[in-house]
Amino acid sequence: MKDAFGFPQSVLVLGGTSEIALATVRRLVARRTRTVWLAGRPSPALDEAAGGLRALGAEVRVVGFDALDPGSHEEGLGKVFAEGDIDLVLMAFGVLGDQAHDEREPLKAVRVAQTNYTGAVSAGLVTARALQEQGHGSLVVLSSVAGERARRANFIYGSSKAGLDAFAQGLGDALYGTGVHVMVVRPGFVRSRMTAGLEEAPFATTPEAVAAAVELGLRRRSETVWVPGALRVVMSAVRHLPRAAFRRLPV
Ligand SMILES: NC(=O)c1ccc[n+]([C@@H]2O[C@H](COP(=O)([O-])OP(=O)(O)OC[C@H]3O[C@@H](n4cnc5c(N)ncnc54)[C@H](OP(=O)(O)O)[C@@H]3O)[C@@H](O)[C@H]2O)c1
């Protein structure tokens, strides 16, 4: 159960090697979190992530999870909840893809959509139901400003995040009043493995800054969190730009 300050004691990360997720969990472990489940595709990086958190004093368990295999989600994630209550599910898996390349290889583009959207629909519904059965908990979904308005240079990823974002908002409304809280997090460009080698966008931020914003959002039970916060206003303007003007922006 969350403690009196609203900090989760037990956390399930979907996408257990995500740099943003690990920065968030490190922050939570430094507060009150004791039990961490890292769900992800088996790899040395996943084991290393678990080891790093154990060194901070957390009890860490690793469980297989593949966003591209939704048929396995109910059973795999069900086993986690069967072991005890989860206060926070952090949905952090995702792939950026390679837009120029993926436009020419539709099956690659489909993989981006299936990972970021279809995988999240499945894992989101499975974990939301488990949280609802407990009667408490938060589901934090890492969306992106890229979903707010799809750009020419990044519309495959952007459209997958738009779908994810809309899904998570609807799920939050469906769960309103049940004791389960859904929080949509929309970071801008984050300096992580996902963006390594890419030219930085304005308002670039860090996994640690996203982690701090997630912690604050959890404490406030926010429904939407922008990182950095200024992007809320910026994206509101961008969203309303006429198509012809938006097309000419160097983004
Ligand atoms: N970095 C940014 O600029 C940025 C901005 C806004 C939003 N986001 C979102 O934030 C989330 C975390 O990103 P990050 O920056 O922390 O990137 P990251 O370090 O590259 O993490 C991505 C995670 O997704 C996992 N993943 C990919 N495909 C998967 C699959 N089929 N099944 C299970 N897990 C899978 C990866 O696991 P493996 O180790 O198995 O590959 C990894 O754990 C993503 O949803 C991303 O879209 C990122």
In tens, the pLDDT along 156-211 reads 999 999 999 999 999 999 999 999 999 999 999 999 999 999 999 999 999 999 99
To the query of whether residue 176 is one of the catalytic residues in this protein, the response is no
Q: How many CB atoms lie within 10 A of CB 74?
A: 15
Distance of CA 212 to CAs 11, 40, 81, 207, Å? Answer: 16, 23, 26, 9
* Residue of 65, 192, 214 to mutate, ligand 1, most atoms within 8 A of C-beta: 192
Please identify which of the residues 157, 167, 189, 226 carries the catalytic annotation.
157
Q: Which of 83, 177, 170, 180 is nearest to 131 (CA)?
A: 180
Q: In Å, how far from its chain's centre is CA 94? A: 8
Measured in degrees and rounded to the nearest 5, phi and psi for residue 49 equal -60, -40
Tell me: pLDDT of 144 over 90. Answer: yes
H helices of 119-178, in order, are 119-134, 155-175
Ligand 1: nearest atom to the Cα of 189: 3
Q: Measured in Å, how far apart are the chain's first and last C-alpha atoms?
A: 43
Please identify which residue in the block is written with the tokens 């979903």.
147
- Beta strand pairing status for 88-91 and 224-227? unpaired
Tell me: pLDDT of 5 over 80. Answer: no
Mean confidence (pLDDT) of the chain: 96
What lies within 8 Å, CB to CB, of 3 at 6+ separation is: 9, 32
Tell me: pLDDT of 89 over 90. Answer: yes
Distance from residue 244's CA to the centre of ligand 1 (Å): 32
d(CA 19, CA 193): 7
Pocket of ligand 1 (CB under 6 A): 15-20, 40-41, 43, 45, 65-68, 92-95, 115, 142, 144, 187, 189-190, 192-195
Strand partners, 185: 142, 225
Q: Is 129 helix (H, G, I), strand (E, B) or coil?
A: helix
Cis check for the bond before 228: say yes or no (omega within 30 of 0): yes
* Residue of 143, 190, 194 to mutate, ligand 1, most atoms within 8 A of C-beta: 194
Measured in degrees and rounded to the nearest 5, phi and psi for residue 190 equal -115, 130
d(CA 164, CA 153): 19
Q: How many CB atoms lie within 10 A of CB 230?
A: 12
Question: Can you give the C-alpha Rg of the chain in angstroms?
Answer: 17
Distance from residue 94's CA to the centre of ligand 1 (Å): 4
pLDDT more than 90, % of the chain: 95
Distance from residue 151's CA to the centre of ligand 1 (Å): 20
